[in-house]
Structure 1
Amino acid sequence: MSFRPMRSGDHLLLIDGSGLLWRGYHANAKVTRSSDGHPVGAIAGFCGRLWSLLEDRAIAGTTHAAVIFDAGRRNWRHDLSPAYKANRPPAPDEITCQFQAVRDACGALPIPVVEMAGYEADDLIATYTRRAVGAGAAVTIATADKDMMQLVSDADGVCMFDQAKRATIRDEGVFERFGVPPAQVLDVLAICGDAVDNVPGVPGIGAKGAPALVREFGGVEEILSLAAGGSKHKHVLRVAEHADLARLSHRLAALDATVPVTVSLAHFGRVEPDLATFGAFLRHWDLDSVAARICGDASPDEPRRRGEAA
């Protein structure tokens, strides 16, 4: 990690650490440390994916980077709707016991980690994206979370990178996914809802009807104005009938880009990875094969960083 003030022409990489952690866990759920049986699948999967992401040529040239995590289950959205994400079961012990180690992995690499109680990782990513764009920097958000498509903007130099598909998502890709440009994704989410997160949406208007409605009439408030003006369109009337749900869903699906973060963008300056320290971390967890693949023969006695001769 280094202190490097962000300026015009820089490129920030924001990594959805929670998403990376869960994907790593599901791919390696049964892997344990040979010495004591401690679960290490999430650690192994996370570290391998993080390293591949940082080395991926598709997003080469980033000057700043950080890994963003959810700090806990509860956040400000639960004050609006106690049912928000209530249908999700608690994380099993097999993964929670690896949470701290995954954060330690980032420190060993090193790459900055940010999390903040009361906010989702999505909100932190939105906040840092807004700040980076304000500084004239480009932003790549490494995530597969569809909600992040609200932030994509060709004009502002903000894109998503889906590591699993090795796909860069820009305005056109958002339109292909939602049927609307990024600026209207939030209104589509508000109307169609999200059963996974318990965002209610408007009953009777699904994933096909919502984009068509937003394309024709605009966002939730524009649609409600049309209904107040006497529109007889059935879906306009349905949104008006469930106006409270539509407005609540809009607030739940919206990203808070004004989080009072305490870590500045300047602390995200990228540095060469410390392969000796990272390798030692991996070997501590008996992840020798991962260490060998990533770090080669680097050791604390003979430090070797990427780009240096073996």
Structure 2
Amino acid sequence: MTSHQLIRRTLCAALLGLCGGGAALASDYPAKPITLIVPQNAGGTNDIVARIVGQRLGETLKGTVVVENRVGAGGNIGTQLAARANKDGYTLLMTISSSQAINPAVYKSPGFDPVKDFVPIALVGSVPNVLVVTPGFAAKNLDDFLKLVKAKPGVYQYASAGNGTLNHLLGEMLNSMGGLEIQHIPYKGVAPALTDVIGGQVPMAFASLPSVLGYLKSGRLLALGVSSPQRSPALPEVPAIGEKVPGYAGTLWVGLFAPRGVPAEVERRLGEAMASVLQHGDTRAALSAQGVELASATPAQFAALLQEDIARWGKLVKSSGAKID
């Protein structure tokens, strides 16, 4: 073999190694634990979903998935960390629509681009918010509530998890579409908001179904309506607000993303694994018990939903004037 032939063969081998390195790496995936970043507090809707799904995802991939809560700035801190992580599939993001689709409109500099920085892997499901009141509230059903509040503009307040959150915007939407004037009281998270509603400091709140399900079962809160287009299977006796306020609807979705740039083979394997996870009977039962309505969407459909929600909630944020510097 001549020196030129040797150089040529060595160069070809090196190029093949470079081209096939990603596939070789992906074939062993996962070779180490996967970190699943949850940019919300432990015990919240996204955290509950992430722990159910994460355990099953680890079993399906024959690896380990570690849920890591990285909170702050309405979900921006954890989302930024995920966006800047290595593009190897070992750092993923489980997030909710309020962080991914609303924050870019609410925050002047959220620190990430929901479309350019991430690739959608799987839409897990949707969760309605529930309009809850204390059991001692004057209205015990949605009809009486709407009549009472409409007759007393500016008298009542509703609590939310903070400015620009979905439960804040759902209240603004109800004011606008229902001809009401309920004052917004923002909190730093849904837990303190619900504590004050239960304690009687604020008469009502919008909160995700998983976060209030226990309080509803114990009788510490009363559900008047759900924000989904139809009634929730978890609360079939509670009307959809849209039954009385035509066109009213807004749900929280939960989905899995990877930083854009992960190897195509890793992206494919994650997608296939998540499809298997979401078809597993135990997973479906556990999520349904939390009030999560499982989705059936391709990654492309999930990407389209994200784009639609960015546009939709962006308009409402603008009209409400909700901004955080």
- Structure having the higher strand fraction is 2
* TM tier, smaller: under 0.3
Asked which structure has the greater RCO (Cα within 8 Å, sep 6+), the reply is 2
